[in-house]
Amino acid sequence: MILVTGATGRVGYRLMEALADAGADVTAMVRVEARAADLQVEYQDQPAERARELMLASGMPGWEADGYLELFEWVREGGADTVTDTVRQVTGADPRPVQDWLSDARGSFFGRPPDRSPPVF
């Protein structure tokens, strides 16, 4: 199995496409933002031990894998749930879900060429 991080970016997208076309067993580590990239993604929650194993097998250093696992646990425990009025103070507009904002700004973030249909992973 090949683990690819950054599968929604310009290089990662092309790499995932090439690996899938070659018949490789490919897994992508993506965030929820991948939904805004029009990728057909099957999400699977992995136990921390399995996630670390996959990250290390992809060549990620142990310190980085451990950092991701710590971040994932912090988010899972509600660490990112705090809502502030900073967006309103800075922009004058009400905050909105990141998924809505990403969908509107998708072309600025995701490098998939417009003439290609999304791959299925």
Q: What percent of the chain has pLDDT over 70?
A: 67
pLDDT at 85: 86
Query: In this structure, what token pair is assigned to residue 118?
Result: 């999304």
16: domain range? 2-77+98-109
Residue 115 domain-assigned (yes or no) = no
Tens of pLDDT, residue by residue over 39-82, are 566 667 788 998 899 889 888 899 999 998 998 898 888 887 77
Residue 60 domain-assigned (yes or no) = yes
Residue 7 domain-assigned (yes or no) = yes
Residue 62 domain-assigned (yes or no) = yes
Q: How many domains does the chain have?
A: 1
Residues 81-96 have a mean pLDDT of: 85
Residues 3-31 have a mean pLDDT of: 75
pLDDT at 67: 94
Q: How many CA atoms lie within 13 A of 44 on its CB side?
A: 10
pLDDT at 97: 77
14-49 burial, b for 16+ CB within 10 Å, e for fewer?
A: bbbbebeeeeeebbbbbeebbebbebebeeeeeeee
Q: What percent of the chain has pLDDT over 90?
A: 12
Residue 121 domain-assigned (yes or no) = no
Residue 117 domain-assigned (yes or no) = no
What is the C-alpha separation between 61 and 66, in angstroms, rounded? 9
